[in-house]
Amino acid sequence: MEGANDNPGEGPCRDLSPGEAAMPSPGQQNGGGWASDQEMGSGDPLAPDRWDRRRDGRALVGLVLIAWLVYLATATYDSYQINDNRAVNLSAWSLGVLGTLELPEHWKGGNRWIVEGRDGALHTNRFPGAILWAAPFHAAAERLAGSGVADHAVFLNHAPGGVAAASVTALAVGASFLVFRRLANRRLAVTTTVFMAFGTAVWSVSADSMWTHGLTHLTLMLGVLGVAKQRYARGGAAFAVAVLTRPHVAVVPAVMGVWESITQRRWRPMLVVGVTSLCGVAMLAAYSQWLFETWLPIAGYNVPDSIGDDRLLVLTLVERTAFTLAHPVRGVLIYAPALVVLLPFLRHGWRTSPDWARSAALAGSLYLLVQVGYSWAGGADFFGSRMTLETLVLLSPLLLRTWQSVIVKSEPLKGAAVGLLVVGVFVHTYGALNPISQDSREEWESELDQLCEREPELSGCATKLG
């Protein structure tokens, strides 16, 4: 990364006094538009210059295409995946191939997330957003390969889920560029996007297999972009899809809508963002009632048993938040080490950020508290830090402003940050190539051996996952 840019408006081109920095700029008032003609003439090479349809379009397409090709090359296509991902693929295959969310009866017990729904029908407890995204990929694969119904859930073809994950995460990378471009010039926006795409768990987790995080990343960024452009209905609609994918992100449109209304002193942002995003909650509640006979928007997830009595205690939240930041396996500071340099200076980035970037950061922070209050354990191996992904996505505009406001002005800080960003790329390169440790793989092999000993007639046992 390079360059600084301190104006809180969307077309920063001059240094501001502290008093001026506290005032909303024209860029903030109009939702953060591109720099004006006068600002473009200031000569500041780091100002977020006007969107150039040709050059920025090429940058956008190039980023998405490169990310997609890299993600396709490193995604997981076999069954060495976490139960969560395999469960999404089970429902997506059933919907895409059979046209129903009901799973074949003989898959019962084949995945820990298979549950009984209305009238004893089998479903997974996964949320509908990710299922709907992955279903067309499974339908296309079935049409091309015609593998038919697997004789056990474990032997389902998971390759379409890997393609679906790589594809949606590449689109999320493109959406991130559009957001960053509102704060910085093309070069800095591209550089920031590259580090997000390959130096965070966006690569080693979201793009690896059919987690919920890739689609949530995409829809959160589209929602933030809608709020930044004051296209509140569009932003709320994107947030609604995010809620259908990870329900607790409902706190994000709530925070951003209220913040926009407070800063603008009018009701419309809160009402429009709120009503449109609540459509996601309503649809999820209807989905839950249809399949699982509950109006709670939790699908088939057993939330009460997962939360327990002590998980929402303040002490527990503090402990879990600390572990989420610094735990050697699950800590986001381990997987995104540049945060060690950036986080102490967030208040400087806050002062120079537009209102939408501030509200996104607040929403991401509240989301993190909700997430760790419910569950902070994101799985073993390189999936350990995945619970912080949405927070990292929502904090990224503020982190970019922090870079522009402070880090780039100090050579020692800049050198340390760049070095740690590069370390992050190496960390996640290894993670993308080795998402499952040898211990986990051997444990999975042992479970598969036991299954084939019990049911040797299964066709998949002859090839052991191919």
165-210 tens-digit pLDDT = 999 999 999 999 999 999 999 999 999 999 999 999 999 999 999 9
Tens digit of each residue's pLDDT (9 = 90 or more) over 313-370: 565 777 777 878 887 777 888 889 999 999 999 999 999 999 999 999 999 999 998 8
pLDDT at 377: 58
At 382, the pLDDT band (50, 70, 90 cuts) reads: low
DSSP per position, 233-273: HHHHHHHHHHHHHSGGGGHHHHHHHHHHHHHHT-SHHHHHH
Q: Measure the CA–CA gap between 168 and 161, rounded to whole angstroms.
A: 11
This prediction's pTM: 0.88
Name residue 116's beta-bridge partners: 122
At 453, the pLDDT band (50, 70, 90 cuts) reads: confident
CB hemisphere CA count around 184 (13 angstroms): 27
pLDDT at 35: 42
Q: What kind and span of H or E run contains 141?
A: helix 128-145
pLDDT at 137: 98
Q: Report the 10 Å Cβ neighbour count for 183.
A: 27
Contact 123, 91 (CB under 8 A): yes
Q: What kind and span of H or E run contains 114?
A: strand 114-116
Residue of 250, 210, 124, 247 lying closest to 383 (CA atoms): 210
Tens digit of each residue's pLDDT (9 = 90 or more) over 119-133: 889 999 999 999 999
Using the structure block, give the residue that is written with the tokens 């190039």. 62
Judged by phi (left if over 0) then psi (alpha if -120 to 50, else beta), residue 119 lies in: left
Q: Measure the CA–CA gap between 96 and 135, rounded to whole angstroms.
A: 4
Q: Measure the CA–CA gap between 351 and 18, rounded to whole angstroms.
A: 9
